Homo-oligomer: A and B are copies of this chain.
Amino acid sequence: MTVPTTERGARTRAALVAAGRTVFERDGFTDSRIADITREAGCATGSFYTWFASKSELLSVVLYEAQRDVVVPRLDATAADPFVTLTEGHRRYFENYQRNARLMLVLEEVAAVDPAFRELRRRRGEALARRTATTIEKMQGDGLADPALDPYATARALDGMVSHLAYYAFVLGDTFDIDALVETTDRIWRNALSPRHQT
């Protein structure tokens, strides 16, 4: 992961990152070749190693760049209705997932193959859930959420539900549209979290 000094170097490196994304999306990680990437980038095979130590390293960079603009949905415990921001968040999440669907598949692939990527994913999931859990706790304190729920486990479950829906919809090609996804997600979050009167 060498950092370019010259203008020319920066250009080559950028071309390789862009080409990497293109090729990874088209062929997946395992089935992509360094030679394909350099051809796509319009440079010589050898030049790849001027900037990256391996295919994995390039993938890391590609994924990192792609995830910079990912918005994670969040509850807003301070709002009158804590769910309003969530709805919008989910919509953005689904839209983003759709845009990056092929890349998500690649992520799935390397997560399955490489423990390091797996650990990364676990950490990300954990961090996200922890934040949601905190909000749930606060909502429980305010009587806005079912006190019987384990905040962290619930957060995990609800987060997972969303990413799973996105995977089925945009990677596996299930047909339902984003509006329907958002609506369902929204309602289930509300139902699941809201305090029950019966039970």
Enumerate A166-199 residues with CB–CB distance to B below 8 Å: 167-168, 171-174, 176, 180-181, 183-185, 187-188, 190-194, 196-199
Q: How far is the CA of A173 from the CA of B120 in the complex (A)?
A: 12
Q: Which residues of B contact A113 (CB under 8 A)?
A: 28, 30-31, 109
Inter-chain contact A173/B109, CB cutoff 8 Å: no
Protomer copies = 4
The reply to whether the CB of A108 lies closer than 8 angstroms to some CB of chain B is yes
| Interface bits A94-124 vs B (CB < 8 Å: 1, else 0) | 0000000000011011011100001101100
Nearest opposing residue in chain B for A167, CB measure:
B160
Inter-chain contact A188/B184, CB cutoff 8 Å: no
The reply to whether the CB of A4 lies closer than 8 angstroms to some CB of chain B is no
Enumerate A110-160 residues with CB–CB distance to B below 8 Å: 111-113, 118-119, 121-122, 125-126, 146, 148-150, 153-154, 156-158, 160
| A160-B156 in contact given A109-B109, A174-B126 (Cβ < 8 Å) | no
Q: How far is the CA of A194 from the CA of B126 in the complex (A)?
A: 28
| A183-B150 in contact given A160-B160, A190-B199 (Cβ < 8 Å) | yes
Nearest opposing residue in chain B for A104, CB measure:
B112
Nearest opposing residue in chain B for A118, CB measure:
B172
| A161-B157 in contact given A190-B199, A196-B191 (Cβ < 8 Å) | yes
Nearest opposing residue in chain B for A183, CB measure:
B150
Inter-chain contact B198/A157, CB cutoff 8 Å: no
Residues of A within 8 A of B (CB): 28, 30-31, 105-106, 108-109, 111-113, 118-119, 121-122, 125-126, 146, 148-150, 153-154, 156-158, 160-161, 163-165, 167-168, 171-174, 176, 180-181, 183-185, 187-188, 190-194, 196-199
What are 7 A-B contacts with C-beta separation under 8 Å? A122-B172, A122-B173, A156-B165, A160-B168, A163-B164, A191-B194, A191-B196
